[in-house]
Chain A
Amino acid sequence: MSRFLVDRDGETRVRLSEGMELTKTQSVLAVVGLVVLFAVPDITRLTGLSFQAIHRGILFGLAAVGLNLLLRHTELVSFGHAAFFGVGAYGAAVLASHFEVSSGLLLLLGGVLAATTIAVLIGYFVSGYLDIYFALLTLAFNQVLYAFVLQSGYFNYSDGLSVRPDGLNPPTLFGLQWTSTGYDLILYYFTVVVLVGSLLVMWKLVNSPFGRALDAIGQDRTRARFVGIPVEKYVWIAFVISGIYGGLAGGLFALLQLHVSPDPTLYAFVSGEILFMAILGGFGTLVGPVVGGVVLVYLLIQAPFYVEYYNAVTGLVLIGVVLFLPEGILGSVPKIGTGLARRRRDPGLLRDDIAAIGSSIRRGVTRAVTTVRIIVFGVN
Chain B
Amino acid sequence: MLEHVLNGLYYGSVLFMIASGMTIIFGVLGILNLAHGELYALGAFCAFSIVGFFAGQVAAPTGPVTAIVFALVVLAGSLAAAAVLLPVGGALEATFVRPIYDRDEVYQLLLTYGLLLVLTDVMKFVWGPSPVDVGVFSGINEIPTTELVGFSYPSYNVLVILIGVAVFGWLVWFFDRTKTGRIVRATAINREMSTAIGVSTDRMFTLVFAIGAFFAGFGGAMVSIGPGSASLGMGLRWLVLSFVVIVIGGLGSLRGAFVGALLVGVSSRIVTPYFPQLELAVPFLLMVLVLLVRPEGLYGTWGEIQ
Contact = CB atoms under 8 A, between A and B. Distances in A.
| Pair from one complex | yes
Interface string A347-380: 0000000000000000000011001101100001
B125 A272 contact: no
Nearest to A371: B94
Q: A152, A323, A375: which has the most chain B beta carbons within 10 Å? A: A375
B32 A314 contact: no
A352 B74 CA distance: 56
Contact of A322 (B114, B240, B244): B114
Interface in A62-118: 71, 77
Given A140-B287, A279-B110, A323 B305 contact: no
Contact of A375 (B87, B103, B105, B118): B87
Interface residues of B, number: 57
Given A71-B106, A77-B109, A221 B287 contact: no
A326 B277 contact: no
B240 A268 contact: yes
A374 B281 contact: no
A315 B284 contact: no
A309 interface: yes
Nearest to B118: A315
A-side interface mostly: helix
Nearest to B91: A371
B203 A374 contact: yes
Contacts, number: 151
Given A314-B117, A374-B206, A326 B107 contact: yes
B127 to A, nearest CB: 13
A144 interface: yes
Contacts of A322: 100, 103, 107, 110-111, 114
B284 A144 contact: yes
Contacts of B281: 143-144, 147-148, 151
B118 A316 contact: yes
B-side interface mostly: helix
Contacts of B91: 371-372, 375
Interface stretch (B13-21, B166-174, B288-296): B288-296
B94 A269 contact: no
Interface of A: 71, 77, 125, 128-133, 136-137, 139-141, 143-144, 146-148, 150-152, 221, 268-269, 272, 275-276, 279-280, 283, 309-312, 314-319, 321-323, 326, 367-368, 371-372, 374-375, 380
Given A139-B240, A279-B106, A323-B100, 12 more contacts: A132-B105, A136-B243, A136-B287, A140-B287, A147-B281, A276-B109, A314-B117, A315-B118, A317-B114, A319-B96, A326-B103, A371-B94
Interface of B: 32, 34, 86-87, 90-91, 94-96, 99-100, 103, 105-107, 109-111, 113-118, 120-122, 124-125, 200, 203, 206, 210, 236, 240, 243-244, 247, 251, 276-281, 284-285, 287-288, 291-292, 295-296, 303-306
